[in-house]
Amino acid sequence: MISGEIAFRQQVEHLYVNHSTWLRSLLRRKLGNAFDAADLAHDVYFQLMKKGQLPPAQDSRRHLTQIANGLVIDLYRRRRIESAYLQALALLPEALAPCEETRALAIEALIEIDAVLHSLSGKARKALLLCKLDGMSYRQIASELQVSVSSVEKYIAAGLLACYQALHGAGR
């Protein structure tokens, strides 16, 4: 192992020892249970290690809080998507219900689509959804969003490009 890697691991360990109890407590207050708090606390440190860069010591708690807040939002978003999907499945006859593996894959796909949509600007996201889900024309979308048709074209193009890149792993 290279000395820089050893130093980085020691810094992560130091950060963990000094802040993990505080971080789990913060997350437990936000989430209402210790199990999710422990999972997300681990994810916070995993995110830091993935980045390969640690915050300055004086900014540690602020930085950990920022990452934790993002992960809490992701957790709630994931649960909302999962719940909506399961509610939609409950309306199907049992014979048409997908198996557990298919459900899990569908939920993962929905979460990826949600992430792509949330990476877009609000108008681009709305334009893409109005076009693809509601079948509105570009002119109708322009009127709805109070923008020009050329802006709608740009929004849709940006949305489709983001979807294409997510599908084909571009930009990763």
- Take residue 170 and report the two structure tokens written for it: 């571009």
Give CA–CA dist 1/25, Å, rounded. Answer: 34
pLDDT beyond 90 at 122: yes
User: Hey, how many other C-beta atoms are within 10 angstroms of the C-beta on 142?
Assistant: 19
pLDDT, position 1: 54
Domain residue spans of the chain: 1-96, 98-171
Report which of 57, 72, 59, 56 is spatially closest to residue 24, judged by C-alpha positions.
Answer: 72
Question: What class is the 98-171 domain?
Answer: mainly alpha
User: Is residue 170 very low, low, confident or very high in pLDDT (cuts 50, 70, 90)?
Assistant: low
Size of the chain in residues: 172
pLDDT, position 172: 47
56: DSSP letter: -
Region of poorest pLDDT, from 29-33, 46-50, 154-158: 46-50
pTM of the shown model: 0.73
